Amino acid sequence: MSVLIADDDAAVRDALADLLSEESSITLVDLAATADEAIEIAAREQPRVALLDVRMPGGGGPRAVREIAVRSPSTRCLAFSAHEETASVYEMLELGASGYLVKGAADREIVEAIHRAARSQLSMSAELATACFRELLRDVSERKKSELTLLELVRKAGQEREELLVHLVRAQETERLRIASDIHDDSIQAMAAAGLRLQQLRKRLRTQAEVEALDRLEDAFQGAISRLRHLMFNLRPVALDRSGLAAALQAHLDQTQAGGSVLVQMENHLTAEPPPETRVILYRIAIEALANVRKHAGAHLVLVRLENADEGWRVQIDDDGSGFNPNGNGSAPGHLGLTAMRERAQLAGGWWKLESQPGAGTSVAFWLPAVSEPTLPPPQPLPTSI
């Protein structure tokens, strides 16, 4: 068995050479004082084992192990060091060393380690192996503690995210309710009063032209009041609190379909009603998707499907419209609304996706998990009449 010895200490090299010369089964091919010499000799002689000082000049044992593995793949490297540093042990073993001997080891232990290295067997003192395993176990224990801490932080972050989302939705809906109430209590009331004045004015008109002009003005007033009521409904639909998601969406569809050419069908497969905040987010995303269909799709038929899925709630909206290329770099119809829908779903911990092809319609699907609710008072419903 051929062996290379590499150590920057001449006394150590000579002592090792004398030790191996007494072994009839071992042939000493050469001695090296640096990593560069060890690499060149190993490449030339292809020894079975290279006994390498860990800290010799030229990059030390680590560089020698790396280079010898490339230039003499059949050579097994055995680390030899005056230090019992576990970090050094890990480095040398990771690079491919077949063992780690500490200088001062008994002659027989060194010879046996060389023979074991030739058989691709690991060599290390029991004390050093124990120290390494203890450190590994300590690292594993610390890692487990870190993982548990991280999981706890993730859990708390999830709770805080849910609480923040609930507060955010409540704040948004409260503001919507305030605006809707202002529209009801101020704008609609003022326009209704103006409408009564117009009716009183009608009694004083004398010509047909004046009456016809007043008719047009009253129609405009009624149209404005109708649009304000529709806006008030969209800001905070009463059915969303009173009757649930499906009823609120159906009421929205009844309003938007009136006199239109688009037929919208809804399949309600919900077996449980979403919590209020989740219900609001599902509703807002759904009406935004329906508005996109109404404005851009040119569809004749739209199918809305509601269902429970994966411990949450899933909504899918399919239309038979013109479709488009979703990868159009922001050129999709209503792309700002699409981005807002995706962000709203992701903020709530869910997902949103869109599938479409030109001429083949569009499918929008989104899913939200249940949101844990803090004990906050729900927003009060709007008045139902003026």
State yes or no: pLDDT of 330 exceeds 60: no
For the chain, percent of residues with pLDDT exceeding 90 = 30
- pLDDT tier for residue 173 given thresholds of 50, 70 and 90: low
Lowest mean pLDDT among 20-24, 76-80, 165-169: 165-169
Q: Provide the CATH number for the domain formed by 2-124 in this structure.
A: 3.40.50.2300
Q: Assign domain 239-386 one CATH number from 3.40.50.10190, 3.40.50.10800, 3.30.565.10, 2.60.120.1570.
A: 3.30.565.10
> What tens digit of pLDDT does each residue of 337-346 get?
788 888 888 8
| DSSP 8-state assignment for residue 144 | H
Domain ranges of the chain: 2-124, 151-236, 239-386
Global pTM reads: 0.49
Q: What is the per-residue pLDDT for 202? A: 83
* Whether 183 contacts 231, CB under 8 Å: yes
Q: What is the per-residue pLDDT for 161? A: 63
> What tens digit of pLDDT does each residue of 298-313 get?
888 999 999 999 889 9
State yes or no: pLDDT of 47 exceeds 90: yes
- pLDDT tier for residue 292 given thresholds of 50, 70 and 90: confident
